[in-house]
Amino acid sequence: MKLELDHLTKKFGDFTAVNHINLTMKNGVYGLLGVNGAGKTTLMRMLCTLLKPTSGTIRCDGRDIFKMDSEYRRLLGYLPQEFGFYPQFSVQDYLLYIAALKGIPPAAAKERVKELLFKVGLSKAAHKKMKKLSGGMKRRAGIAQAMLNNPKILILDEPTAGLDPNERIRFRNLISELSEQRLVLLSTHIVSDIEYIANEIWLMKDGELMHKGSADEIINSMPETVWECFVEKNMVSDFIKKYRISNMKTEPDGIILRIISQERPFTNAKCVKASLEDVFLYYFGEKAGDENAAI
């Protein structure tokens, strides 16, 4: 299975949401990382044939996905940021209903729903009404519906929104397991969701692809250094004005700052290994009152 994006562009009037994206994906996990408004959802909606590109093409194994039509959609599982459901349905009935819409035979659907309820940790809530579920449980039900047809291409838009840390770990383990047999693309602004499971990470900003590569390659793309230093509490505001601060830890007699800077910010500052969170802040955060992060 291979997806190819060739100069993919989407405009809404004078606004360019996705600008000439070129990518190739095969089986594995791809993490799309960026702040809200970066163009992630627009890109995913084009990959799901919900939006047609203004220009450029998307090909699945060499064929235009919009010409493949239903043949392509049978390969696809999709979890949007917000998904619809009938609030009076139980979780099990909701999944059986979606399975019927996807053309899955009733006997096979029943077994598949039972399997997925177990995988996403909703077996005990199978007969609970959808409207009674917590936000995190609804997301898990959404993940289950995306996997009902055992898709070869699984596209997940902010899939861990509302999930607690244990649920996020369960989700990451599940995605790692699934990725051996399919292509998985997930978008997020939560770095830890993809740091350890994505084979390739894409940084997207203002509709454009800034960087792509493994977590280590993305980290190495940052031209500045990460420093840690201990400062007195009355000095912190000056450092915030001057530097990009990725973390602050309060101690009884001062503050430990994690600073992104080309220069050594303080005499006692020591150079430390950068993380993907540092990189995210460098490219997407603000520094010293700047309106935009580094480009």
- What average pLDDT does the segment 33-44 reach? 91
Q: How far apart (Å, rounded) are the C-alpha atoms in residues 147 and 160?
A: 15
* Residue 291 pLDDT exceeds 50: no
- Per-residue pLDDT, 294: 40
State which fold the 3-214 domain adopts: Rossmann fold (3.40.50)
pLDDT band of residue 6 (cuts 50, 70, 90) is: very high
Contact (CB, 8 A) for 41 and 157: yes
Is the pLDDT score of 252 beyond 60? yes
Classify the C-alpha dihedral 288-246-251-272 as positive or negative.
negative
Q: Which pLDDT band holds residue 266 (cuts at 50, 70, 90)?
A: very high
Predicted local confidence at residue 286, as pLDDT: 59
Average pLDDT, the chain: 90
Q: How high is the pLDDT of residue 218?
A: 93
Q: Strand pairing of 28-33 and 183-188?
A: parallel
DSSP state of 70: H
* pLDDT the model gives residue 53: 97
**Backbone torsions φ then ψ of 239, nearest 5 degrees:** -70, -40
* pLDDT score of 167 more than 50: yes
pLDDT(173) > 60: yes
Bigger pLDDT: 139 or 259?
259
**pLDDT at site 262:** 93
Cα–Cα distance list, 240 to 35, 234, 247, 274 (Å): 21, 11, 11, 19
What digits encode the pLDDT tens for the residues 111-127? 999 999 998 889 999 99
Asked if residue 188 lies in contact with residue 33, where contact means CB atoms within 8 angstroms, the answer is yes
* Residue carrying structure tokens 């199978």: 126
For the chain, the structural domain boundaries read 3-214, 222-284
Largest CA distance in the chain: 69
Which whole-number Å values give the CA distances from 109 to 87, 148, 169, 171, in the listed order?
21, 8, 27, 22
262 neighbors 225 (Cβ within 8 angstroms): yes
Strands lying side by side in the sheet with 225-231: 244-251, 254-261, 225-231, 270-272
Over residues 206-225, the pLDDT tens digits come to 999 999 999 999 999 999 99
Average pLDDT in the 144-153 region? 93
Q: Are 19 and 44 in contact (CB under 8 A)?
A: no
Contact 155, 79 (CB under 8 A): yes
Q: What is the pLDDT of residue 163?
A: 77
Residues for the chain: how many in total?
A: 295
Integer angstrom CA distances of residue 271 from 76, 224, 264: 45, 11, 8
Residues 6 or more apart in contact with residue 55 via CB below 8 angstroms: 7, 8, 9
Which has more pLDDT, 172 or 51? Answer: 51
Residue 179 in this model has a pLDDT that exceeds 90? no
